[in-house]
Amino acid sequence: MIGIQTQYQNFIRLFGKKPDLWIFGMIIALTNLHILTGNDRLGYALIFLPREIAEGQWYRIITHPFVHISWFHILWDAGAFFLLYSGLAEKRIPIKLLYVAVCGVFSLLFAFWFSPMINRLGLCGLSGIAHGLMAVSGMEMTEHKETRWPGIISFLLVFFKGVYELITGNILFEFLLMGMCGTPMAACHFGGVAGGVIVYTSFRIYDFFQRRAFVNYGKSFVCFFLSFSKQKTNIGMGYNRFDFFHMKKRLFHNIIKKSANLFDK
């Protein structure tokens, strides 16, 4: 009984640390029951198909990335997804989920725009989102001197891979899939990359201007508040009030700067 309770507590502790990973895992398990049961209609009911969505089955827009065709397809796509998602430098779960959502939307849009066979075959799988997360990961690495060049190389590889597949309509190294991933929609890979670039760049620009505005506002407030200090000499204390004014100004400026650094976390 004690052993079961300990295992339960360990499970709850692990779930608390990585709730998003567990939720993604459960969603993938539930949306791929057709592989376990052999009932393909279960999977067919969840993939992206424009005609069915036009008839009101809007849930397919959300469920289609998590559906896969075979166990190999799950290991290939979902394995890359979990590896890249868990390795992101960004630790704020809402921001990471937004990365996934935007990459998924652009992956779907590019497949819909540039792959006409999507109307007949549909779309499923996490490969487009995984490509987007790889682009995000590469851009994150470029922010640090130690990982800058690996990040640049990683980003350029996935970017030009997506460009090649978008132009040619062929998957690079498609022979590695061994025909076990259905008919890949090459355009969705570059769509995921485009979504990753857009959402990551947008957040970096937003964070930059938010920190800058916060610091400038803080400076203006502190200078206005401290401007009431009088420039008189206090003989008993042995210092000038004007010097004390600058001491307070520097102190408040440092507090503002440290507070602004919280936006980086």
* Pair 71, 35: CB distance under 8 Å: yes
Cβ atoms of 138 and 158 closer than 8 Å: yes
Supply the pLDDT for residue 12.
Answer: 59
Contact in structure between 260 and 215 (CB atoms under 8 Å): yes
Q: Considering just the CA atoms, what is the radius of gyration of the chain in Å?
A: 26
* pLDDT score, position 240: 47
Residue 39: CA atoms inside 13 Å, Cβ hemisphere, count? 7
Max Cα separation, the chain? 91
Both tokens of residue 72? 């190999």
From 66, 178, 179, 49, select the one nearest 129 (Cα to Cα): 66
What pLDDT sits at residue 39?
85
Contacts of 35 (CB under 8 A, 6+ apart): 43, 68, 69, 70, 71, 74
**Residue 78 and residue 126: Cα distance in Å, rounded?**
6
d(CA 32, CA 69): 8
Q: What pLDDT, on the 0 to 100 scale, is given for residue 108?
A: 95
Q: Which residues contact 101 (CB under 8 A, 6 or more apart)?
A: none
pLDDT at 208: 79
Phi then psi dihedrals of residue 38, to 5 deg: 80, 5
Which amino acid is present at 116? P
> Which CATH number describes the domain made up of 2-207?
1.20.1540.10
Segment-wise mean pLDDT, segments of 10 residues, the chain, 265 residues: 57 68 93 88 90 92 93 90 93 94 96 89 93 96 92 95 91 75 86 96 86 57 50 44 50 54 50
How many other β-carbons are positioned within 10 Å of the β-carbon of residue 194?
A: 22
pLDDT of residue 219: 54
Supply the pTM of this predicted model. Answer: 0.74
The pLDDT value recorded for residue 263 is 47
